[in-house]
C-alpha cells in the first residue's frame, strides 16, 4: 500500500462533506523528505540507466495501452487507471495491478482514438489522438464531466501537482491548467548536446521530472520540465520474451508505483506489466 506521503499525492479520499479528493503526483511539496527522492544529475551530466525487474504481473494483451497511472480508489483500493487506444476499441479502465483484472471501464465513441490520461485533484483527464477531445472524468465512476476541445494532436499527459504536462509526438511539452485545460506555456525538449528529442509519447510526472516513453523505441527519458533538458535515459529493451513480444506492439505506459523510485511499465498489446526500478 502507499505510505502516507504517496497516498496524499496519489490517493482518493472522502472529505467530511462526502466529496472525492484525488491527488496526482506532486513536485512542489517543499516539506517532503528529500531523502527518499529519486535523484537525477544536473542537466549537463549524462545518466544512462537500465531496468531492474522487481515483479511481473499479467496484463490484458488486448489493451493498446496509451496512458497509465496508479491511485487509490474508494471501492477497489490500489488500482491502475489505463487508457487504451485504437479506433472502435478505445476505452478507459480501472484495473487491479496484481492480476490485470478490469474492475471498471467505459468505451469511447468509435471515432475517437484514446491516448494518455492523468489524475488531478478531483478528476481524470483523458486525451485523444487527432480528434481534439479532452475528457474530464469522475475518478470514481469514470463518467464524463466535461469535454474540452484543444488544437493539435494528443499523445501523453501527466499532472505535476500544479499543472498538466502534455505531449503531441514532437519535441515540445505543453503546459495546461488542470481545471480548464487551457494552455499556459510550452518547453522544447533537448538532449545534452542540444539536439531536439522527438516522438515524446506517454508521460509520468514524478519527483520534479517528467518521465516519457519515446515512441517506437525501448527508451524512457527523464525530462526537466522547466528547462526541457533530458536528465536521464533508460534502456528498457528485452522485458518481454520472444514468444510474448511476437504479438505485442511498442513499449508504452509508465506509472509511478507505491515505493518511491519504482514504476509500473507495460506496452501496447503487452501480456505483462512490470514493477521496475531504474538503476
What's the pLDDT at 26?
A: 33
Q: Where are the domains of the chain?
A: 46-278
**CA 250 vs CA 156, 265, 276: distances in Å:** 15, 12, 17
CA–CA gap between residue 89 and residue 110 (Å, rounded) = 7
Please, what is the average pLDDT of the chain? 85
Q: Which fold has domain 46-278?
A: Neuraminidase (2.120.10)
In sequence order, the 6+-apart residues with CB closer than 8 A to the CB of 5 are: 29, 32, 33
pLDDT band at 95 (very low <50, low <70, confident <90, very high): very high
In sequence order, the 6+-apart residues with CB closer than 8 A to the CB of 270 are: 59, 61, 65, 240, 244, 248, 249, 253
pLDDT band at 65 (very low <50, low <70, confident <90, very high): very high
Pick the closest to residue 131 from 88, 178, 174 (CA basis): 88
pLDDT digits (tens, 9 = 90+) for 36-61: 334 444 444 458 999 999 999 999 99
pLDDT digits (tens, 9 = 90+) for 135-146: 999 999 999 999
| Residue 172, CA atoms < 13 Å, CB-side half-sphere | 9
Please report which helix (H) or strand (E) contains residue 5, including its range: helix 4-10
Amino acid at each position: 500500500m502507499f505510505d502516507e506521503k504517496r497516498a496524499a499525492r496519489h490517493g482518493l479520499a472522502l472529505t467530511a462533506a462526502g466529496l472525492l479528493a484525488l491527488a496526482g503526483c506532486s513536485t512542489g511539496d517543499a516539506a517532503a523528505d528529500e531523502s527518499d527522492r529519486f535523484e537525477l544529475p544536473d542537466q549537463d551530466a549524462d545518466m544512462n540507466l537500465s531496468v531492474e525487474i522487481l515483479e511481473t504481473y499479467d496484463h490484458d494483451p488486448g489493451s493498446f495501452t496509451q496512458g497509465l497511472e496508479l491511485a487509490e480508489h474508494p471501492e477497489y483500493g490500489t488500482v491502475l487507471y489505463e487508457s487504451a487506444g485504437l479506433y472502435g476499441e478505445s476505452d478507459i479502465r480501472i484495473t487491479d495491478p496484481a492480476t490485470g483484472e478490469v474492475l471498471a471501464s467505459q468505451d469511447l465513441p468509435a471515432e475517437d482514438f484514446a491516448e494518455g490520461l492523468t489524475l488531478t485533484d478531483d478528476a481524470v483527464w483523458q486525451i485523444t489522438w487527432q480528434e481534439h477531445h479532452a475528457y474530464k472524468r469522475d475518478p470514481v465512476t469514470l463518467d464524463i464531466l466535461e469535454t474540452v476541445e484543444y488544437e493539435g494532436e494528443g499523445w501523453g499527459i501527466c499532472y505535476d501537482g500544479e499543472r498538466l504536462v502534455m505531449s503531441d509526438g514532437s519535441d515540445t511539452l505543453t503546459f495546461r491548467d488542470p481545471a480548464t485545460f487551457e494552455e499556459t506555456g510550452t518547453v522544447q525538449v533537448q538532449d545534452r548536446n542540444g539536439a531536439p528529442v522527438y516522438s515524446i509519447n506517454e508521460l509520468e510526472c514524478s519527483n520534479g521530472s517528467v518521465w516519457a516513453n519515446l515512441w517506437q523505441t525501448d527508451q524512457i527519458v527523464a525530462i526537466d520540465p522547466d528547462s526541457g533538458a533530458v536528465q536521464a535515459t533508460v534502456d528498457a529493451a528485452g522485458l518481454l520474451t520472444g514468444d510474448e513480444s511476437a504479438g505485442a506492439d511498442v513499449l508504452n505506459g509508465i506509472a509511478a508505483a507505491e515505493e518511491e523510485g519504482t514504476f509500473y511499465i507495460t506496452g501496447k498489446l503487452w501480456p505483462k506489466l512490470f514493477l521496475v526500478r531504474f538503476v
